[in-house]
Structure 1
Amino acid sequence: MEHFTQLSTYIFTLFLAALLPGPGMTGLMFKTLSQGYQAGMVMLLGLMTADMIYLSASIFLLSYINQLSPNFSFYLIVFSSCYLLYLAYQFWTFKGDLLASSNEMNLGKTFSAYKDGLLITLSNPKTISFYLALVPAIFGSVSLQEKSPMLMSVTLLTLAFIGGLYIFCSLSLKKVLKPLHVQKMLVRSLACVMGFLAVSLLYKELNVMAPVYASLF
């Protein structure tokens, strides 16, 4: 019964975390709108790969990482938040027509789309916090290694479903987004989402660590 409750909580939390617009899914929308559904699908594979990296780290390496550096997650989130601020700036200053790009895929575009998905998720503080903090909290002291095949399977299925939903919705938006001023509003809204998430997480992490560093002086 406890196992079922923990797994249900994990799936529900992951579903909500993926469904709420964050850097990964907003980036997926941007990629699908600008380069088509094929680029969106490849980027989704990159997103899912990065999630698997963090989930694997949570299952197999978390205790080692904490022993190596107790503040590792703090430094990682600060670095990632700064990268997200850079991405928010890129989105905010984007000029041009989202729908004008060619949808034809080649090796270069395929690699670029996969890399974008991988990097944006590896640098997403929400993803880092979910896998390195929330997942251990959900399962407590239970060994996650025994559950790793099931956790990875349900994670991939959930992310594929939510990502596919975002790609479908992005394609449906194309008719609405033909006017350039509407595109500008959307892109700047995505930039605000990224920027707000980065600033809020930076503020939270710095507030948590401030007393620690203050005690050193």
Structure 2
Amino acid sequence: MEPTTLAAFALALTLAAASPGPGIAAVVARALGAGFRGAVPMVLGLVAGDLVYLSFAAFGLAALAASFGTVFLVVKYAGAAYLIWLAVRLWRAEPSAQAVGAVATGRPWRTFLAGLSVTLGNPKVMVFYLALLPSLIDLERLTALGFAELIAVVIVVLLVVVGGYAAAAARARDLFRSPRAMKLMNRGAGTMMAGAAVAVVAK
């Protein structure tokens, strides 16, 4: 694939990924409540969700994806329910390193699935891959190597952008170590997580 085409795709994806939305809110809330390591599975889930839509677009399955509206609706509500559960845990967490550690060491696969469901239920991501991507790349001439290059771009861009948000939030969390500050941080993170859940359902 032409370097200029890949660069245009990378730029468009960077702008889309960096814009605030349910995914960024969920990752930031997770990092505030559980630290960077606790947010990594959610970041990976968001990346996986983008790769699902990229695959739909690359293999001409846009119509099939649209016909799975009920499935994606179920995934959306399941993800929102899990985000609410995380929000409640964060809100009720005691302001201590042990309590925050307990939140951080929740089952990573659940956090991964929460990130995946947030992306699959996000219309912005669907529009980007199924409507905008074909205007950037001639998908009918996409080769296996070209598809692999797009996958690499998606992984790198999202890890940098979304991982950057998680790292910044985790850093902010580390600056506040007093019990009162940690309690406020936990409740703020819980509120953000609940807000992300509401945004997922509302879209």
Paired letter, 1:152: I
Q: Following TM superposition, by how much is the alpha carbon of 1:171 offset from its aligned partner in structure 2, in angstroms? A: 1.2
Max radius of gyration: which structure?
Answer: 1
1:153 corresponds to which residue?
Answer: 152
Paired letter, 1:166: Y
Q: Following TM superposition, by how much is the alpha carbon of 1:155 offset from its aligned partner in structure 2, in angstroms? A: 0.9
Unmatched segments (≥5 aa) in structure 1:
202-217
Larger helix share, 1 or 2: 2
| 2:67 pairs with 1:72 | yes
| 2:135 pairs with 1:137 | yes
Q: CA separation of 1:11/1:60 partners in 2, compared to 1, >3 Å: closer, same or farther?
A: same
Q: Following TM superposition, by how much is the alpha carbon of 1:49 offset from its aligned partner in structure 2, in angstroms? A: 1.7
1:29 corresponds to which residue?
Answer: 28
- State the superposition RMSD in angstroms: 3.7
Unmatched segments (≥5 aa) in structure 2:
none
Q: Deviations over 1:52-73 (max 9, x none)?
A: 12111111142xx42x58x538
Q: CA separation of 1:50/1:88 partners in 2, compared to 1, >3 Å: closer, same or farther?
A: closer
Moved more, 14-23 or 189-198: 189-198
Q: Following TM superposition, by how much is the alpha carbon of 1:192 offset from its aligned partner in structure 2, in angstroms? A: 4.8
Q: CA separation of 1:22/1:110 partners in 2, compared to 1, >3 Å: closer, same or farther?
A: same
1:209 corresponds to which residue?
Answer: none
Q: CA separation of 1:141/1:118 partners in 2, compared to 1, >3 Å: closer, same or farther?
A: closer
Q: Following TM superposition, by how much is the alpha carbon of 1:98 offset from its aligned partner in structure 2, in angstroms? A: 8.2
Q: Following TM superposition, by how much is the alpha carbon of 1:96 offset from its aligned partner in structure 2, in angstroms? A: 2.6
Q: Deviations over 1:139-158 (max 9, x none)?
A: 14652344101101111111
User: Would the aligned equivalents of 1:40 and 1:167 in 2 still touch at CA under 8 Å?
Assistant: yes
User: Would the aligned equivalents of 1:47 and 1:117 in 2 still touch at CA under 8 Å?
Assistant: yes
Q: Following TM superposition, by how much is the alpha carbon of 1:87 offset from its aligned partner in structure 2, in angstroms? A: 5.6
| Matched positions, count | 193
Q: Which has the higher contact order (CA 8 A, sep 6+)?
A: 2
1:47 corresponds to which residue?
Answer: 46
Q: 1:127 aligns with which of 125, 128, 144?
A: 125
Q: CA separation of 1:98/1:21 partners in 2, compared to 1, >3 Å: closer, same or farther?
A: farther
Q: Following TM superposition, by how much is the alpha carbon of 1:164 offset from its aligned partner in structure 2, in angstroms? A: 2.1
2:92 corresponds to which residue?
Answer: 96
| 2:24 pairs with 1:16 | no
1:173 corresponds to which residue?
Answer: 172
**TM-score (ref. length: structure 1):** 0.68
Counterparts of 1:51 and 1:32, CA distance in 2: 20
